[in-house]
Amino acid sequence: MALRSPTLAMPRFVVLEHDHPDIHWDLMLESEEMLATWALPPQAPGAFQCPAKQLADHRKRYLDYEGDVANGRGSVRRIDAGTFEQLDERRFLLHGNIFDGTLEFRADFCRFQPSE
Protein backbone atom coordinates (compact mmCIF):
# COMPACT_ATOMS: atom_id res chain seq x y z
CA MET A 1 0.00 0.00 0.00
CA ALA A 2 2.27 2.76 -1.22
CA LEU A 3 0.65 6.10 -0.47
CA ARG A 4 3.71 8.30 -0.86
CA SER A 5 3.38 10.73 -3.71
CA PRO A 6 6.14 12.74 -5.34
CA THR A 7 3.78 15.73 -5.51
CA LEU A 8 2.76 15.66 -1.84
CA ALA A 9 5.53 16.87 0.49
CA MET A 10 3.50 16.11 3.63
CA PRO A 11 0.26 14.23 2.97
CA ARG A 12 -2.60 14.63 5.42
CA PHE A 13 -4.63 12.23 7.53
CA VAL A 14 -7.92 12.52 9.35
CA VAL A 15 -9.75 10.39 11.93
CA LEU A 16 -13.53 10.80 11.81
CA GLU A 17 -16.09 9.39 14.22
CA HIS A 18 -18.79 7.87 12.01
CA ASP A 19 -22.13 6.85 13.54
CA HIS A 20 -23.40 4.49 10.84
CA PRO A 21 -24.19 1.64 11.09
CA ASP A 22 -22.52 1.62 14.54
CA ILE A 23 -20.11 4.14 16.02
CA HIS A 24 -16.62 3.59 14.66
CA TRP A 25 -13.67 5.65 13.51
CA ASP A 26 -12.73 6.15 9.87
CA LEU A 27 -8.97 6.58 9.59
CA MET A 28 -8.10 8.18 6.24
CA LEU A 29 -4.64 8.64 4.69
CA GLU A 30 -4.21 10.97 1.72
CA SER A 31 -2.79 9.72 -1.55
CA GLU A 32 -2.65 11.58 -4.87
CA GLU A 33 -6.25 10.91 -5.91
CA MET A 34 -8.18 9.62 -2.90
CA LEU A 35 -8.11 8.75 0.79
CA ALA A 36 -7.11 5.20 1.75
CA THR A 37 -9.61 4.36 4.52
CA TRP A 38 -9.90 1.91 7.41
CA ALA A 39 -12.69 1.41 9.94
CA LEU A 40 -11.48 1.11 13.55
CA PRO A 41 -13.35 0.70 16.81
CA PRO A 42 -13.06 3.88 18.95
CA GLN A 43 -9.89 3.84 21.09
CA ALA A 44 -8.76 5.42 24.33
CA PRO A 45 -5.79 7.80 24.01
CA GLY A 46 -2.37 6.17 24.07
CA ALA A 47 -0.97 2.95 22.64
CA PHE A 48 -3.45 0.46 21.20
CA GLN A 49 -3.89 -2.54 18.96
CA CYS A 50 -7.28 -3.12 17.38
CA PRO A 51 -9.12 -4.63 14.41
CA ALA A 52 -8.79 -2.57 11.23
CA LYS A 53 -11.04 -3.18 8.24
CA GLN A 54 -9.90 -1.58 5.00
CA LEU A 55 -12.77 0.19 3.26
CA ALA A 56 -13.18 1.57 -0.23
CA ASP A 57 -11.18 4.72 -0.91
CA HIS A 58 -12.96 7.96 0.00
CA ARG A 59 -13.01 11.38 -1.63
CA LYS A 60 -10.48 13.93 -0.42
CA ARG A 61 -13.23 16.28 0.70
CA TYR A 62 -13.43 14.26 3.95
CA LEU A 63 -10.09 15.75 5.02
CA ASP A 64 -11.98 18.93 5.91
CA TYR A 65 -15.58 17.71 6.29
CA GLU A 66 -17.83 17.24 9.31
CA GLY A 67 -21.56 16.66 9.04
CA ASP A 68 -24.13 14.42 7.40
CA VAL A 69 -23.04 11.71 4.97
CA ALA A 70 -25.06 11.31 1.75
CA ASN A 71 -27.77 8.68 1.29
CA GLY A 72 -28.70 8.41 4.97
CA ARG A 73 -25.34 6.97 6.05
CA GLY A 74 -25.15 8.89 9.32
CA SER A 75 -22.77 11.71 10.11
CA VAL A 76 -19.07 12.23 10.78
CA ARG A 77 -17.21 14.30 13.37
CA ARG A 78 -13.46 14.99 13.36
CA ILE A 79 -11.48 13.34 16.15
CA ASP A 80 -8.02 14.33 14.90
CA ALA A 81 -6.18 15.46 11.79
CA GLY A 82 -2.62 16.19 10.77
CA THR A 83 0.13 15.10 8.41
CA PHE A 84 1.96 11.81 8.02
CA GLU A 85 5.13 10.28 6.66
CA GLN A 86 5.13 6.80 5.15
CA LEU A 87 7.97 4.81 6.74
CA ASP A 88 7.49 1.63 4.70
CA GLU A 89 4.66 -0.38 3.13
CA ARG A 90 2.85 -0.86 6.46
CA ARG A 91 4.10 1.84 8.84
CA PHE A 92 3.19 5.52 9.01
CA LEU A 93 4.41 8.28 11.30
CA LEU A 94 1.38 10.42 12.15
CA HIS A 95 1.73 14.05 13.28
CA GLY A 96 -1.59 15.02 14.85
CA ASN A 97 -2.80 16.37 18.18
CA ILE A 98 -4.06 12.99 19.44
CA PHE A 99 -2.45 10.63 16.95
CA ASP A 100 1.22 11.58 17.17
CA GLY A 101 3.24 8.41 16.70
CA THR A 102 3.69 5.30 14.62
CA LEU A 103 0.74 3.49 13.06
CA GLU A 104 1.35 -0.01 11.69
CA PHE A 105 -1.10 -2.09 9.67
CA ARG A 106 -1.12 -5.89 9.61
CA ALA A 107 -3.52 -8.28 7.87
CA ASP A 108 -6.69 -7.32 9.74
CA PHE A 109 -5.53 -5.12 12.60
CA CYS A 110 -3.46 -2.04 13.33
CA ARG A 111 -1.14 -1.01 16.10
CA PHE A 112 -0.48 2.55 17.30
CA GLN A 113 2.49 3.61 19.42
CA PRO A 114 2.61 7.26 20.55
CA SER A 115 5.84 9.23 20.13
CA GLU A 116 7.80 9.74 23.31
pLDDT digit string, tens, across residues 42-88: 999 899 999 999 999 999 999 999 999 999 999 999 999 999 999 99
- Indicate whether 7 pLDDT > 70: no
Q: Does the pLDDT at position 4 exceed 60? A: no
Q: Which domain covers residue 71, as residue numbers?
A: 12-114
Contacts of 111 (CB under 8 A, 6+ apart): 48, 49, 103, 104
Q: Is 53 a domain residue?
A: yes
- Structural domain total, the chain: 1
In a domain, 6, yes or no: no
* Mean pLDDT score, 8-23: 92
In a domain, 82, yes or no: yes
- What share of the chain has pLDDT > 70, as a percent? 93
In a domain, 78, yes or no: yes
- Provide the CB-side half-sphere exposure for 51 (13 A, CA): 5
**Which of the four pLDDT bands, split at 50, 70 and 90, describes residue 103?**
very high
27 domain-assigned: yes
- pLDDT value at residue 8: 46
Question: Residue 32: which pLDDT band, with cuts at 50, 70 and 90?
Answer: confident
7, part of any domain? no
Question: Is the link from the previous residue into 21 a cis peptide, with omega within 30 of 0?
Answer: yes
The long-range contacts involving 43-46, CB below 8 angstroms and separated by at least 24 positions, are 43/112, 45/98, 46/114
Residue 5 belongs to a domain: no
